[in-house]
A and B are shown apart, each in its own frame.
Chain A
């Protein structure tokens, strides 16, 4: 390409060289692409401005500081209908984060259990888990959410069934068609000390494990980490609990009037959404876990046995670290999916970010463009945060690898 055959070292630029000469072509294509894109965006923005002005609307986020004028039944922070739209959106965002957090934990537990059991030597249990995985993976999530909501509403007893002649026994946990009631902790004077002691013992466990590992690397001696950890986990906190006269109590739900009072009320919509999301995502996680375990070759297990490691140490030290490198990245992207799928909450009336910002606020203020932009920005930020966690993990295990 650099060989110049003619006497002229700088050939005269002709216009067709833009697409025939490789030196100019890539630049030319990119400039064209950029121009087309900018023209397209400008056209869309121009249309939007014209349409908005035709309707007498403007592009303004001022509605966020105006009163929302609607109630949200499920909330983690104080909120009344006189609060602003921004606060309503915050309630919704917290609800999204709540369901995502609960869902990720439950889905991981379900998925890991199902994935391991699907590899079990027990024929029956392996088949049952296959039925679970295929059943949940191949039916749309929306149908599962509605179906489980229907189960909660139709199949569970109503609070009315807990009163009268042959009433149902209401324990500490009450399952009703309006939701699930669980005992709530009551914090009395001195409880902060118990919590403080508990946090200190958690920190102590962390340092104890580091110390034990360093000792094993240096001397080869093993410390019974699990039993010491267990003792540290329960011991100091229990001692503090009794020493300060049992400052943390439980408030049990009780039937008053037409409904249960006291305790924590997890609404039917929360329960249905939580169950559906975690069962659905759990099925996908089960497949990921199964593939991860299968990806570690059997030779690794045999090598560990040959070295004289016991089965549980083989699992903890040889198999799991290698399987986790395969499992964790798709697992985190399942968490991301779960968070995005939680926007289906709108189908059962759980007030998440989509239900408040993209639902009632949008409909009441008529600010479609602003609301949807904010909603997308929220989900985009969550996604970027989660995927940056994944990238961090990937870069870390890569360093371990080579």
Chain B
């Protein structure tokens, strides 16, 4: 401290320096000393991140004990002692007992193996299942131009489909399972991959967007039939196919509807505003399950006598209305976050209301609200499981029919685990994409 302060003693030092010869002057900088060994490397990392204080060490020990309690048992049950091929739960148990002795318990993934098609397609006719497959591939092609700048992800996705199918075909050939590699799915994947590889640049994006707008029509004919395809009744829809149909329809139609509602809520036309506010607050105030009850028992009362349109269509309508109210609130947040100058700029340029909205306001407002929009999508996707309560056979609705089968009576964890895993992958993927997009947009703002 002393040499920093020009106090009285500093004079003494100066005087002393003049009188006595200097013994030591550093001619070069000292080399830096190494940090203490306990603060670097693996040990340092452990000290810093796991044992920085008594309470932290305690937490670490408790967590490790928890992990030791959970993970080995789970791995043992789910992987080591699991059974993948069996015809019934009792056969599974016999196999586990034979392999690992009395009292051992192992997962019976055979039920997933046997009921995989049902969990995916419900009761969709087996010979027509290529149609939902093709629809899924086209869905990829329809969303890639919206989500990404180039069509490259589509090439990768379709390539992965073809490679996956080839591997499975090889496996099937060895195992003697009948499996045809050349199917409409493969052809579609190949055509899309080649198309996206040739016309994948940013200049072609607008042409791919045409496919996005055509997709609902194409998908309708593929799934429900009609035109040249054999019709399929919608009561045969089930499993994750039903989840996708409800989720994608809800997502696709709730966004435009939500934007309109948000604009209505912020408009200066009082009656229009009142209608929008009432609608949004009503929908947001009641649980989805009551709206699904409306779809299942009430909507037919509100239609002209004699109309009888099917349950899935009614559910689609209610789910879309439900999601659009939430979407409207998200978009309204985005609209409110825009500085007022943007609205005034649009007016100053002489743009009419819709021109200003389309060219200036909405692109910015939607960009701000992307995280909220994706969260609404995730919520909608998860909420599709509620249709099980009004007796539709989505994956959760299929739980009871599968467990009612005498072969699989008593199976619990494997089915829940599988369904939860599929939902997790979809929803986690969506939320990761939203975070990626947020980072990209933030980088664009920093510039």
Contacts and interface: CB of A to CB of B under 8 A. Distances in A.
A30 B285 contact: no
Given A50-B305, A150-B412, A383-B285, A124 B290 contact: no
Contacts of A29: 269, 272
Nearest to B62: A125
Contact of A380 (B49, B269, B285, B396): B285
A30 B271 contact: yes
Contact of B286 (A117, A141, A154, A376): A376
B396 A143 contact: yes
A380 B389 CA distance: 21
A376 B290 contact: yes
A147 to B, nearest CB: 5
Given A26-B269, A368-B301, A372-B294, A340 B389 contact: no
Contact of B284 (A51, A121, A147, A383): A383
Contacts of A65: none
B399 A146 contact: yes
Interface in A35-94: 37, 44, 47-48, 50-52, 54
A122 B49 contact: yes
A372 B298 contact: yes
B383 interface: yes
Interface stretch (B123-131, B192-200, B417-425): B417-425
Nearest to B413: A150
Nearest to B410: A154
Interface in A333-358: 340-341, 343-344, 346-347, 354, 358
Nearest to A125: B59
Interface in B14-50: 48-50
A150 B59 CA distance: 30
Contact of B290 (A30, A141, A372): A372
Nearest to B416: A147
Given A139-B427, A141-B382, A358 B290 contact: yes
A137 B60 CA distance: 24
Given A30-B270, A150-B412, A383 B424 contact: no
A354 B287 CA distance: 10
Contacts of A369: 298, 301
Nearest to B276: A33
Contact of B64 (A33, A51, A124): A124
Contacts of A341: 287
Interface in A209-251: none
For the residues of B in contact with A, the DSSP-based class is: helix
Contact of B427 (A121, A138, A146, A376): A138
A161 interface: no
A34 interface: yes
Contacts of B284: 383
B284 to A, nearest CB: 7
**Listed residue (B59, B289, B419, B423) with the most chain A CB atoms within 10 angstroms of its CB:** B289
A33 B286 contact: no
Nearest to B48: A121
Contacts of A123: 49-50
A8 to B, nearest CB: 26
Interface string A365-388: 000110010011001100110000
Given A121-B49, A142-B385, A368 B297 contact: yes
A142 B290 contact: no
B297 A138 contact: no
Nearest to A36: B275
A353 B382 CA distance: 23
Given A51-B305, A372-B293, A146 B416 contact: yes
Given A26-B269, A29-B272, A150-B412, A139 B424 contact: yes
Interface string B278-317: 0001101111111001100110111111000000000000
B56 interface: yes
Interface of A: 26, 29-31, 33-34, 37, 44, 47-48, 50-52, 54, 117, 120-125, 128, 134-135, 137-143, 146-147, 150, 154, 340-341, 343-344, 346-347, 354, 358, 362, 368-369, 372, 375-376, 379-380, 383-384
Interface of B: 48-50, 52, 56, 59-60, 63-64, 66-67, 268-272, 275, 281-282, 284-290, 293-294, 297-298, 300-305, 378, 382-386, 388-389, 396, 399, 412-413, 416, 419-420, 423-424, 427-428, 431
Given A34-B275, A143-B423, A380-B286, 5 more contacts: A125-B63, A140-B396, A143-B396, A150-B412, A372-B294
3 interchain residue pairs of minimum CB distance = A383-B285, A123-B49, A138-B427
